[in-house]
Amino acid sequence: MQWLAVEIGAGRFLVPLAQAGEIFPWTSVQTTPYTQDWFLGVSNLRGSLCGVADMAAFMGLATPAGALERDRSECSLLTFNTSLELNCAILVDRLAGLRGPEAFTASQVVPVESDKPYLGLQRSDTSGQLWQELNLLTLSQFPPFLSISA
């Protein structure tokens, strides 16, 4: 399996490449009223109107107020693959490149938290850093992620 490695908040995550869509540099987002704090709003990405979610805030890795203050010069918007049928992009703090199975020395099953079923295996790379799988397919079907109204 191939992954796109990203940093979100203080966490390191591996997104299955088959579930990832296009990557866009940070662009303006039109805020929307009456939505969750982690839902930043909508953005026009290559002619498609996409909802933009701050994953750090959604996963509890950053406060929504802190999300507004973050330097977004290195941030990117990662869209979901069109096969997932969700017009959405997630805010990632930094892209860390592509990774294959050979980049990791060990993996371990992490108990699935009922409030975060979209998180999978943890993998350790050759420098000892931990990376956790972020399953966009599961996230695209996760009711709290789909419920953006405040």
Q: Tell me the C-alpha distance between 27 and 79, whole Å.
A: 13
pLDDT at 107: 83
Q: Tell me the C-alpha distance between 76 and 108, whole Å.
A: 28
The tens digit of pLDDT for each residue in 72-108 reads 777 999 999 999 999 999 999 999 999 999 999 888 8
pLDDT at 68: 52
Query: Which residue is associated with the tokens 């990376």?
Result: 131
pLDDT at 112: 67
51, 76, 112, 113 from 109: Cα distances, Å? 31, 28, 9, 12
Q: Where are the alpha helices (DSSP H) in the chain?
A: 55-58, 64-69, 136-140, 143-146
Beta bridge partners of 88: 51
Q: How high is the mean pLDDT in each 10-residue block of the chain (150 residues)?
A: 93 97 94 95 94 94 57 88 96 95 85 84 92 96 94
The model's pTM: 0.89
CATH 1.10.10.10 is held by the domain 3-146? no
Q: Tell me the C-alpha distance between 92 and 53, whole Å.
A: 9
